[in-house]
Structure 1
Amino acid sequence: MASIVNYGCRMPPFEITPEEQAELDKALCDALHPLASALRSRATGLPEDRIWEADPAEVTLSVLAAWKVVDAEVRRLTAIAARTAGSYGASYEQMGAVWGITRQGARKKWPEAVSRPATTAARTSSALDLCGGTAELTQEPKSGDWRWAGTGADGTHRSGDSGRSYSTKEEAAAHAGAFLKEHALG
């Protein structure tokens, strides 16, 4: 899968130039005008050619109402785009990077965007030997989440971080590894 790379450009890859911003503002306002006119006409009963002759506060509230409709539609289309990206193999980490949020934030924002691998009735597990201790990483069959339990070289035993689960095996292994390093001998 191709990744998005910024090759030393002065501007982050998803920021737009002032010229692009001006063009976008104009296009959005042009698209908003008919919607605001229709909403204002329905609210007042006035013909669309007279709706802008009203009290300025009422007119601008009609524009604000139209932006609310647009905002809801943008959120709906954004969720569709996230699900589509996930269906093509994009990860929550990649989506978060594009959106300017963490992987966890992307997972919370679009919880159904990335499908988890089909789980089987059997539990998946693997062992981690590090710093003289061992940890077992297990994947829950229904949720697909990962947990760990380990015994450090000093004999300290722990079952994960207060029962916390992790979305990837690598994340669970990192936490288990930190535990094993903390409880190494010498």
Structure 2
Amino acid sequence: MTSIEITPEERAELGKALTDALNPLATAIRSRESGLSEARMWEADPVDVTLSVLAAWKVVDTEIKRLTAIAAATAGSYGASYEQMGAVWGITRQGARKKWPDAVPRPAAARTGAALELFGGTSSLAQDPSSGGWTWTGEGADETRGAAEDGTWYATKEEAAAHAGAFLREHAADRGQGML
């Protein structure tokens, strides 16, 4: 799909619909700013009235940008690429990525980890790619399985390894094994 062009007739209809939708907002803004009733707000200084209209268009512009970002994120969640979004918007892939940086989900990074062998047992350490926290699972030499408590993530790999090591030591085949 490429950038969409509209006919002059469609542009005129769109302009009328947007202006009709904008008028109540511009009237409310002008009434609040001037203290005049909505029925009398058009009697104000023409500069002030036109600035009210400009202020209302700014509100609409901000809302359109927000809704556009939602539409881009929705398209990205269904598998649209930045290249496709850029083509529809009339910009490059890089421009689309800059405009909507979070629209296309990035593949989750694989967990990084390490293995730990102590006291006749083994433990695996894993890092959560989103939080950076570390956790562990293990099996002691006595075949007891264990893991970090539910929802526990440690700040460092070394901290997770220390907890895993304590578990492995507690579940050594010979509790004195490996002790000094």
- Would the TM-score normalized by the shorter structure come out above 0.5? yes
Cα distance, 1:55 vs. partner? 1.1
Is 1:62 equivalent to 2:52 in the alignment?
Answer: yes
Q: Deviations over 1:126-149 (max 9, x none)?
A: xxxxxxxxxxxxxxxx69xxxxxx
Task: Quote the sequence identity (%).
Answer: 75
Gaps of 5+ in 1: 6-12, 123-141, 144-186
How far apart, CA to CA, are the structure 1 residues paired with 2:100 and 2:81? 11
Aligned ranges 1:1-186 → 2 under 5 Å: 4=1, 14-121=4-111
Secondary structure in structure 2 of the residue aligned to 1:120? coil
How far apart, CA to CA, are the structure 2 residues paired with 1:30 and 1:53? 19
Cα distance, 1:117 vs. partner? 1.2
How far apart, CA to CA, are the structure 1 residues paired with 2:90 and 2:12? 22
Q: Deviations over 1:46-89 (max 9, x none)?
A: 10000001111110000000000000000000000000000000
TM-score, structure 1 length as denominator?
A: 0.59
Q: In structure 2, what residue type is equivalent to 1:37?
A: T
Larger relative contact order (CA 8 Å, sep ≥ 6): 2
Give the 4+ runs in structure 1 shifted more than 6 A: none
How far apart, CA to CA, are the structure 2 residues paired with 1:62 and 1:116? 42
Instruction: State the match for 1:157 in structure 2.
Output: none
Cα distance, 1:119 vs. partner? 1.3
Q: In structure 2, what residue type is equivalent to 1:56?
A: P
How far apart, CA to CA, are the structure 1 residues paired with 2:28 and 2:95? 36
How far apart, CA to CA, are the structure 1 residues paired with 2:49 and 2:8? 28
TM-score, structure 2 length as denominator?
A: 0.61
CA root-mean-square deviation? 1.9
Q: Which has the larger radius of gyration?
A: 2
